[in-house]
Every structure is written in structure tokens, then in C-alpha cells.
Amino acid sequence: MSSSKKRQQNRSSVGGSRTITYILIAVIGVLVFYYAVRPVVFPQSTVTTAPNGAKVSLSTGSDIPGVYVVISGQNLPAGKNVSAVFGTSPLPLTNSTTKQPGCQTSSKGTMSGCTFWVPNLAVGHYDINFTAGGTTVVDKFAVPQYAPPVSTIIVTVTSISLGMVTQLVTRKVVDLNAERRMRAEVNAFNKEKREATMALQRAKAALSKDKEGGSQAKAAVAKEQDKLERLKKRELAMQQEQLNVQKARFKVMGITTVPLILVYYLMATFLGGYGVVVAFTPIPIPVITGVTQSPAIYDVSLFWWYFLSSFTFSTMLGRLLHTTS
């Protein structure tokens, strides 16, 4: 078989491997978005629609006492004050824009920017009755059984356990020695290619300065061009070897991603919902943290604490077990 046909087959093999890799990454990305990100970014709450089509929904369907909840509404009586009862007790509402007590519907019968703090009530399921101009809409709310620090410990220990399983699978599936050798070879190759490229540029610059086009300068350019061409031919084979080594990493990702999402789903069910608060921090973190009634205390939802814990402990365990560089 000619060398050109071999190179063509190698290119086809590399292209096929890359396509499979991209498809695997896309599938995993869709799963993570659908089962992990979507419930947090687009939280679902149980909404009861009144006979006239009025609706009220909450930013979360389940949370612990003391956290902040945002309310929105549609098809309500226009320009009316909104009152609320949580279980059997009156629930104070606040306008998030003016920071003043009380909320009103707009001239179009919508409600936005209305908030409340989850009252300090016992674990259980409650009805919240929102009333505006004689129209009442009932929403469901659940106060979960587990709150920080118990829920914090549960999620953290679960993340550590999953991280340990991931590292053990990595040690079993990935040839770490071959991976390290390949990384060293790639670094050496990239360095050699970089040096050859710079040497060719210098040779061309020297040739351009030589007005007579001396044979020595031309020979230097030809030599560096030939060296760079040989490196480019090696590059394709090295890419193929690199993909073969990396396939094991993608296999580990495919094996561990599904359990990671499944455990997240089970924890959400066990702890009280996708948006349930499982940890507190004194440091505000944009996007990740919310506010609580306590000053200088910020809450962290299950999704973010699970993600941060998994990432942190997987990285630490990878270093300890020498499964990462």
C-alpha cells in the first residue's frame, strides 16, 4: 500500500475518532443540561390555576426556613393588592424593586418582583393562598426534612464517594503510564515543531537579506522546510496515537456521568427538590449564592454545592491517587 493511501486512511481514522468523541461529549452535555442544569435554571413548582385562568408560581417548589423566594403571577385582577397565607398564618410579601412591604398586580394583571422569606415552620407540605381582588390562587410548598449542616454533610460525603469511585474507575480503565508517555512525547514534538518553524522563519529572513540569493542561504531554507515537512507527516500519526490514549478518558466519562446525574436526581428527591438550599456561605458568589434573612449569610442550592464539591474533591483525589497530571 502506498504512503499516500496510508495517510488517507489515517486521516479517515482520526476524523472518525473525533466524530465519535464529539457525539459522546454532545450526548453527555444534553444529559447534564436536562437532568441537572434545567431544573435549576428553569425551576419547576406546582401551580394551581384558578377557574378564571389566574396563575401564581414560585422560584422554587421546596426550601428551608429563612430563604428567599420570588413570586410571579398571571391573569390576576389588575391593580390590586396581593395578600398571602402560608398554611394557616399570614405571609408578609415584599416588593423586591422598592424593598417596601406589600405587592400589587400590574394594569395587565401580572405580578413580578414579589418576594417572601420562608417562615420557620415544621417539616411538611403546605398550601400558600395568594389573593388579589377576590381571586385566590393556591400554590404548593414543601419544607424539607434535612437542612444545613445535615444536608451539607450528606451532599459533601456523597460527592467524595463518587469522586473516589471515579478515580478507581480511571485507574482501572486508563493506562496512566501510556498517557504520561504520550503527554511527554506531544510536548517534545510541539517544542521541536515550534523550533523548526522559527528556524525556517530565520532562514527565510536571512535569504531575503541576501540580495544575490546565495546558495548557502537557499540551502538553509530548503533544509528547514524539509524538516518541517517531516514533522507535519509525523503529526498525523501522533494525533492518532493521542486519540487512542484519550479514548479511555472518554470511556471513564461515559461510565461515570450517568451515575453522577442519577445520584443528583436521587439526592434532589431525598433532600426536598432541585432548588433546595443545602449549604450556607459568608461569601457572596455571583450566580451561585442567594440571600437569606440573616445578614452576611448566603445560601447555596443543591446543584451548585454538588457541582462544587464533586469538582473540588475529584481534583484532590486525582492528585492524591496520581490519576491526573
pLDDT in tens, 131-140: 998 889 988 8
Higher-confidence position of 213 and 83: 83
Higher-confidence position of 296 and 103: 103
**Dihedral sign, Cα of residue 299, residue 301, residue 304, residue 308:** positive
What digits encode the pLDDT tens for the residues 21-78? 567 667 766 766 665 565 555 555 555 566 678 888 888 767 888 888 889 888 999 9
DSSP annotation string for 102-127: -EE--TTS-EEEEEEEPP---SEEEE
- The fraction of the chain above a pLDDT of 90, given in percent, is 22
- Report pLDDT for 48: 57
Q: Which of 291, 286, 287 is nearest to 41 (CA)?
A: 287
- Report pLDDT for 296: 82
At residue 164 the predicted structure's pLDDT band, cuts being 50, 70 and 90, is very high
Mean pLDDT of 195-200: 85
What digits encode the pLDDT tens for the residues 113-122? 899 999 998 9
**Dihedral sign, Cα of residue 315, residue 169, residue 304, residue 144:** negative
Rounded to whole angstroms, the Cα distance separating 58 from 39 reads 13
- Report pLDDT for 90: 95
- Report pLDDT for 14: 46
| CATH superfamily ID and name for 55-143 | Macroglobulin (MG2) domain (2.60.40.1930)
Is 212 strand, coil or helix?
coil
- Which of 19-23, 169-173, 272-276 has the weakest average pLDDT? 19-23
Which segments of the chain belong to CATH 2.60.40.1930? 55-143
Q: Is the pLDDT of residue 320 over 50?
A: yes
